[in-house]
Structure 1
């Protein structure tokens, strides 16, 4: 029987790896002229909350939904912020840089799935940040998988 395919969460290194990612990422955000104004009032727990959210999205424990309010809470963090395309693009660029810096897996299958989620999720956040947007109604987060390219040894 073949080994089960690991989740993106497992492949990334679990909660510890995602916490390293979000800590490095938000340091970059707070030093960035374009993004810092949007995040200067974030709580000290924000990077860890985002790590928990990403953990659930990537197939880890459903803690963001069970303990933090799930998709409705995520929506509340973006509603009315009117995120601009250049802000979204910078956000994605900085999280990809942080992923390199903290040593998240760099194999093509993981990075393809990781980049795809960051693009998809940030575009959703931008759309849901617009006044009058009509986001989907659900409680839990969308779980992101490997897509077309499961992990392989390279």
Structure 2
């Protein structure tokens, strides 16, 4: 019997939409994260795109890749912001709390996998302090034990 993907275990696309919605709301409520999350040039479907990205990384369908671009494109959007380590920590904290807000399974192994992913993802984004990102990076895939394929940060 095979173990479900993190995407399946979470509850599929609806669960990731709830997570992205809750995370966005927490970031808007944070006094430091509010500015980057409330600017007017943000894509009108930011939350839906974020949900599709996280869902794909966690083993869901490749909607983000098909509709929004590859991993390099996502990194390029977030690269070049200099030292953002405190914002990164706050982003992870919001993500962890948003998992509760979104009513994701409270399984300790699942929650650890989510938190480990987000810590890795934030570290990867922060590893590009200037806007230069390699082209054609494949989407990362994350499972119960960590990074299975894609970029290595």
- Could you tell me the TM-score, scaled by structure 1's length? 0.86
The 8 Å contact of residues 76 and 131 in structure 2, kept in 1 or not, is answered as no
Pairwise CA distance, 1:98 = 0.7
Choose between structure 1 and 2: higher strand proportion: 2
Say which one has the larger Rg: 1
Structure of higher RCO (CA pairs closer than 8 Å, 6+ residues apart): 1
Across the aligned residues of Structure 1 and Structure 2, the Cα RMSD in angstroms comes to 1.6
Structure 1 unaligned spans of 5+: 149-154
Q: Which runs of 5+ in 2 are unaligned?
A: 147-153
Residue pairs, 1:97-136, within 5 angstroms = 97-128=97-128, 130-131=129-130, 135-136=133-134
CA distance in 2 between partners of 1:108 and 1:96 (Å): 12
Q: Secondary structure at the match of 2:127?
A: helix
- 1:136, distance to aligned residue in structure 2 (A): 4.8
Give yes or no for contact 2:79–2:131 (8 Å, CA) kept in 1: no
Is 2:31 the counterpart of 1:33? Answer: yes
**Contact preservation (8 Å) 1:65, 1:140:** no
What residue number does 2:12 align with? 14
Q: TM-score, normalised by structure 2?
A: 0.87
Aligned ranges for residues 30-109 of structure 1 at < 5 Å? Answer: 30-41=28-39, 42-109=42-109
| Equivalent-residue separation in structure 2 for 1:96 and 1:75 (angstroms) | 21
Corresponding residue of 2:141: 143
